[in-house]
Chains A and B, each alone.
Chain A
Amino acid sequence: MLCIKNGIVVDGVSPKPYKADILVDGDKIVEIDYGLSTSADTVIDATGKYVLPGLVDAHCHLREPGFEYKEDIGSGTRSAVAGGFTSIACMPNTKPVVDNGALVRFIKMRAREEEAAKVYPIAAVTKGLNGEELTEMWELKEAGAVALSDDGRPIMNSRIMRLALQYAKGLHMLIISHCEDLELAGDGVMNEGYMSTVLGFKGISRAAEEVMVARDIILAETLDAPIHIAHVSTRGSVELIRQAKRRGVKVTCETAPHYFSATDEWVDGYDANTKVNPPLRTGDDVEAIKEGLRDGTIDIIATDHAPHHRDEKEVEYSLAASGISGFETAFSLAYTHLVEAGVISLPQLVEKMSKRPAEILNIEGGKLEVGKTADIIVVDLARVFTVDVSQFYSKGKNSPFHGHTLKGKVVHTIVDGRVIMENERITV
């Protein structure tokens, strides 16, 4: 038995936080009440801290198999737990690509061996991410894939995208779209605008993202099929999705913490840790992303955790790999820039980082209720700290937030009733 005592609970269901103890037996929550007197063998004192459902990440890259030098399922799931994520969905752009049932099972097996965060594989939409031939989606679903995506690459051929949405709809599978028109993006390396002009870079226009968001909305709308738009980064995309939702299109979307915490001005200095796809946008886009989170247009916050090796980042900007190591800063960035800044409330944050992602992926999690699986985190919202990438559990130290001061930190993480992180230390 495990008891989390004296914390303030945000349970993902009640609109208001309340003070309570949570009793866990095995992997289940058995009691939530104030002043529980128990003989639990493990007691976590959460006095002055908040107790939330474990975070759920709908978009990350674990790099195994194939790119273990960047990250593997062991380091990736520990990094996730360190960031408060108890369930994560990983993208299939590994080597080989996760486009068959055997690889889906392999990832699940590897994650079980590591005993850290629970991993839900997302499988490819097209074979080898080639954008041409559909994968065997039924087999992938049977093997345990929770969604389909060619993330990292757009499906440029609109006909293939339409067929994929159609076929997946018949199997009740969700397609997650990485929206990027490669022709428009060209050889751009950062957001197109004043900063790309100042720094002497070819730019990636917002249109490269928005034309694909518009296309995907139209395809989903005409098929009445669900679609999830990955990493929304521009004002225009938010507006397209807002209008589509009003019309009743089955579109959901995510943004990533860097799209509300950083701008293209950060590229000044040519630090490749600011290189990410889609690129960091302008302050105006950041405002629009926040507004989209506030009014519900943007359903969830996903990390797009994209670890890379140092050697892939300490190079000329145009040659550097794109992506940010995101697990271990996600909650703190969201708390600092959204909750502390008054954009959304803490219960809304829990909704966007735990409850809604679980709903969208149709997996367990997101709620603290008696009888539910005990995926729980304890966060210290008063904690002010400086991000230090050398302390990351992830192999990927590529974060533009290194050295930045943030507020709010995950201190304990409980997965399936087991304390995997205690006092900011991973125990497995």
Chain B
Amino acid sequence: MALKNKDLLGLRGLSKDEIEEILDTAELMKYILEQDHKRTPHLQGRSIVTLFYENSTRTRLSFELASKYMSASMANVSASSSSVAKGESLIDTGKTIESMGADVIVIRHPVSGAPHLLAKHVKASVINAGDGINEHPTQALLDMFTIRQKKGTLCKLKVAIIGDILHSRVARSNIWGLTTMGAEVRVAGPATLIPPDIEGMGVKVFYNADNAIKGADVVMGLRLQKERQQKGLLPSIREYTSLFGINRERMLLARKDALIMHPGPINRGVEISSDIADGEQSSINEQVTNGVAVRMALLYLLTRRNKDAMH
């Protein structure tokens, strides 16, 4: 069993078997991470390049550590968002990186579909580390990994995703992945932040956070960009917080053992209250650890795939 495609562009179209393979491999990687000597030779001789057109400390660091723990050569390329607009060709940049010997290119880009364009033009494996408002598959995989570790399974779990669904690539990837794994996904947010016809993706839509959280096994908050209010999508942050903020009172509606998640970075007191974010139901810090394990698993599976194809 291996991954079907050379790239990981999104969880849309990934099969249940493929997702399970990634999560199972991540279990092994997490075991390695728990050792004092965190180093394996799995990626020896391989080279990983991250190409980030948006700032991100945690995702990039997570990929960097994942590569280093597995003995890969790794380099970071920072391209500012403005260089996208300046017409520096993504394809040219990708080909240059490939010519220097990259086996895997990890890309984050402000435009949806940019990793797909890159993947079409390079032979290296491309991992999408977040594209526009489309997908952030490695984040969703680490979320799913975390849920599976805590709950034993994903099947039939009720997962409530609360907040700005429209602009959230984390939400989209989680919806694709979780529905594939048989979870019941609910989304809730102000009507202006729910994308049209999202029911077609297999989720239940709520415009009321209480109803979405009722009986949930997992409650996932999303980062609310303050500019949404400036653009008129919200009357005020205050009203957002009172309607959709995840707080102790609302969490009483969820199952007693419900897990609280957030992809970070958190706007404390906006989408989630501090006592909840730091409370014992919260798995926010563990999500970060699991992120490294999941990325190790992906790098391993994708480079192994290349090797298999060569022999």
Task: Mark A residues whose CB is within 8 Å of B.
Answer: 192-194, 196-203, 269-270, 311, 314-319
Contact = CB atoms under 8 A, between A and B. Distances in A.
Interface in B188-240: 195-198, 200-201
Nearest to B114: A316
Interface in B133-175: 133-135, 169, 172
A200 B196 contact: no
A203 B194 CA distance: 12
A316 B133 contact: no
Nearest to B9: A270
Contact of A197 (B111, B135, B201): B201
B135 A200 contact: yes
B112 A197 contact: no
B113 A203 contact: no
A201 B90 contact: no
Nearest to A205: B196
B271 to A, nearest CB: 20
B133 A202 contact: yes
21 contacts: A192-B196, A196-B195, A197-B197, A199-B113, A199-B134, A200-B133, A201-B113, A269-B116, A270-B112, A270-B113, A270-B117, A314-B91, A315-B90, A315-B117, A316-B84, A316-B109, A316-B114, A317-B112, A317-B113, A317-B117, A319-B111
Interface in B5-34: 12
Contacts, number: 67
B105 to A, nearest CB: 15
A194 B132 contact: no
Contacts of B100: none
Interface in B78-95: 84-85, 89-91
B64 interface: no
Interface residues of B, number: 26
A403 B169 CA distance: 32
Query: Which of B84, B89, B196 has the most chain A CB atoms closer than 10 A to its own CB?
Result: B196
A314 B89 CA distance: 9
B197 A193 contact: yes
Given A196-B195, A200-B169, A270-B113, 16 more contacts: A193-B197, A194-B197, A197-B195, A197-B198, A197-B200, A198-B200, A199-B112, A199-B134, A200-B134, A200-B135, A201-B132, A201-B133, A311-B89, A316-B117, A317-B112, A318-B132
Interface string B295-311: 00000000000000000
Contacts of B112: 199-201, 270, 317-318
Contact of B131 (A192, A198, A200, A202): A200
A317 B132 CA distance: 11
B132 A200 contact: yes
Contacts of A311: 89
Nearest to A202: B133
A3 B112 CA distance: 56
A194 B196 CA distance: 6
Contacts of B89: 311, 314-315
Nearest to B119: A270
4 cross-chain pairs, A with B, having the tightest CB-CB distances, nearest first:
A200-B134, A270-B113, A194-B197, A316-B111
